[in-house]
Structure 1
Amino acid sequence: MGVEVLSHRRMTWVNIEKPTPEDMAYLRERYPFHPLDLEDCLSRIERPKIDEYDDYLFIIMQFPVFDITRRVSRPGEVDIFVGAGFLVSVHDGNLWPITKFFDDCQDDEAVRDRHMGGGSGPLLHDIVDRLVDYCFPILYKVDANIREIEEDIFTEDLRGVVQEISWVRRDVIALQRIVKPQIGIVANLEHRDRPFIREELELYFSDVLDHLYKAWDMLEDHRDVVEGLSDTANVLTSFRINEVIKILTIISVIMLPLTLVSGIYGMNISLPFMDHPLAFLFIILLMIAMAGSMILYFKKRRWI
């Protein structure tokens, strides 16, 4: 089993990584948790929510975990049971802040006393606060990627820039989908009074909520910038395509009369200067004059 139990005074923290049915059986024997809540802990992805019972809260929250291979943030779920004198955290181990926090409390008595000495409410706040703060390095990385795109957008590698814009846009959308539901969860913890969450924690949860709003505002800004970069890339792509089409059109227009002259003098009929010894040179000079005059006309009209 991946069950770790840490006790301090009258407070117990049970941390479960990569939950199994055996772990849920362990919780079922020791705590009055609803069977559906234990079933949710084993589900791969659940919708973020907060369920309130008489003697405990069941909270499902999600935080971003960046997938390097797919280059997108995916939701990492943490399920929390919190009641008077206990807190149970269930997660898949990918959210390293909660794992590190548990290890710190386990290894250092001063840290354990500071975070677990106040009961389950302050401990819940400290866990959520660390997980919310953990989002910001990911958001800063997105911001760095956007700045890199801004520097490269006017280079010749427009195809690579468009691909990078697509990656970042997908990541921003995924982050928005993860962050937005957490705002309602923390707002609920801030405004609702519960016996095991003291009233003075309202200010602390309000601070966490402010951080979530800040993260959401950053994502909104990132989305707007990415959309602007995408529009710029589309304009540049259209401009370059138009430039290529213009050059090809000019070449076709110049070749058209030359093809006409060569076609006429390629016919099996009597034509002017056909028997003249300098006929070939005359035709070549005529073609050059026609092409040159058309190029001069295009330049005068500023088409090239």
Structure 2
Amino acid sequence: MPRNLKDTLKEIQILLGKPHKRIAGAFKYYLSFLNVKESSEKNEDAAPKEEKIQAVNHGKITWVDVKNPTRKEISELAQKYPFHPLHLEDCVSKSQFPKIEQNDEDRYIFILLRFPSLNISDQSISMNQLCFFLGHNYLVTIHENENSVISKIFEDCKDNEDRRKAYIGNSSSHLLYTIIEQLTEGLSPLLRSILTEVDLVEDIVFDDKVSGVYQVGQLRRKIISLRRVIGPLRALLADMSARVTKFSKSNLSVYYTDITHRVDRTWETLEEARETVDIYKDADFTINTEKTNTILSVLTIIFTLSIPATIVGTFYGMNILLPGGIEGGSWTFFGTYTTLIIIMILATIPALLMYLYFRKKGWF
């Protein structure tokens, strides 16, 4: 049965114990966000092509999975569960910071995580925002990517009763552990991809015929993106262990500690990769600088050796009388090209002497 605006305001009034008028003013924004309509209004929205909210049950535990939520789906969740409007708003907002917040009054935990995923086609890394509402007998997951790990686990629970029992167990906390454990396992392909690129960059950097500036920059960008996600995740998992266990009959601290150790190892691997890539960056800079210096040295030597010929040519290009010049008459005692031969000798001897001096100094 659809709920009208008056009923919604009355429930909020009872919940917070505020006067009706103050409730109407304070929650005007959230009511419009949740898309609550009067019963007399007609909903002209077309029926969705696919069911975005799906549920699966095992014993007393209910798992509700929401894919690509809109405000309509968020409004439905608000009617079924005692979720705070700010938590619901975070679910549809993009690029939220990871957080874990506990609502003691309504007895649920809100968890917002960001997990990286590897695109096999172009080997790029994308970030996915995941939201969890954990209660004593339910777990609500909200995510965007339909091909995510959560969707695969949910389909397994729907189709296979044994898998459902294994994943959900006897508590919603165990189901949350199963999902996060699968998500952290997905970090392994990312690390393998990063380490493979590190090896490739090493070959490129120490090849003096190829520039590795672009490859080093792209790899550093990937590592920085992963560190931005893994860093907050480490702190969040450490805080999550104690809070989530309260919603389970059995102690799950050991399981969550294992996940924390896996994420810590991921962080350490990223730190090693970052330090290695920084070394490669410095090495590439040094190699390119040395290559540039070598080129400049060769060009400088060539220019220096040509100075004597330039000076001699400059004198004979002046409009003055010079021995062997056109005005004074060319020398011919060695033949027709006597003047040219003597000028070439005068230019070559100083250049040869400079060459021998440079070699003695070890400049090249």
The verdict on a shared fold, with TM-score over 0.5 as the criterion, is yes
Structure 2 residue matching 1:273: 3-state secondary structure? coil
State the match for 1:257 in structure 2: 308
Q: Which deviations, in whole Å up to 9, do the C-alpha atoms of 1:174-230 show, x marking residues without a partner?
A: 100011111122111223465313452000000000001011101111110011011
State the match for 1:286 in structure 2: 346
Structure 2 residue matching 1:28: 3-state secondary structure? helix
Contact 1:6 1:106 in 2 (8 A): yes
**Partner residue of 1:47 out of 77, 97, 100:** 97
Contact 1:120 1:197 in 2 (8 A): yes
Amino acid at match of 2:359: K
Give aligned-pair identity as a percent. Answer: 31
**Partner residue of 1:190 out of 218, 226, 241:** 241
1:117, distance to aligned residue in structure 2 (A): 2.9
Q: Which deviations, in whole Å up to 9, do the C-alpha atoms of 1:87-138 show, x marking residues without a partner?
A: 0110111662222111111111110011113210110111111111111211
State the TM-score, normalizing by the size of structure 1: 0.94
State the match for 1:213 in structure 2: 264
1:70, distance to aligned residue in structure 2 (A): 8.9
- Closer/same/farther in 2, CA of residues 94 and 46 from structure 1, 3 Å limit: farther
Give the distance between the partners of 1:105 and 1:224, measured in 2 at CA.
Answer: 42
Higher mean displacement: 226-235 or 267-276: 267-276
Give the distance between the partners of 1:89 and 1:290, measured in 2 at CA.
Answer: 84
Q: Any unmatched runs of 5+ in structure 2?
A: 1-50, 333-337
Contact 1:49 1:60 in 2 (8 A): yes
State the TM-score, normalizing by the size of structure 2: 0.79
Structure 2 residue matching 1:60: 3-state secondary structure? strand
State the match for 1:73 in structure 2: 125
Higher relative contact order (CA 8 A, sep 6+): 1
Greater radius of gyration (CA): 2
Q: Which deviations, in whole Å up to 9, do the C-alpha atoms of 1:245-300 show, x marking residues without a partner?
A: 11111111111121001111222222223320211121123323332332232223
Give the distance between the partners of 1:289 and 1:20, measured in 2 at CA.
Answer: 86
Q: Any unmatched runs of 5+ in structure 1?
A: none
Contact 2:118 2:189 in 1 (8 A): no
Higher mean displacement: 292-301 or 120-129: 292-301
Amino acid at match of 2:109: L
Contact 1:13 1:86 in 2 (8 A): yes
Within 5 A, what are the aligned runs for 1:168-187? 168-187=219-238
State the match for 2:60 in structure 1: 10
Within 5 A, what are the aligned runs for 1:80-159? 80-93=132-145, 96-159=148-211
State the match for 1:202 in structure 2: 253
**Partner residue of 2:276 out of 219, 225, 235:** 225
Give the distance between the partners of 1:202 and 1:194, measured in 2 at CA.
Answer: 7
1:65, distance to aligned residue in structure 2 (A): 2.7
Contact 1:162 1:230 in 2 (8 A): yes
1:74, distance to aligned residue in structure 2 (A): 3.7
Give the distance between the partners of 1:111 and 1:100, measured in 2 at CA.
Answer: 12
CA RMSD of aligned residues (A): 1.9
Higher mean displacement: 292-301 or 73-82: 292-301
Contact 1:8 1:116 in 2 (8 A): yes
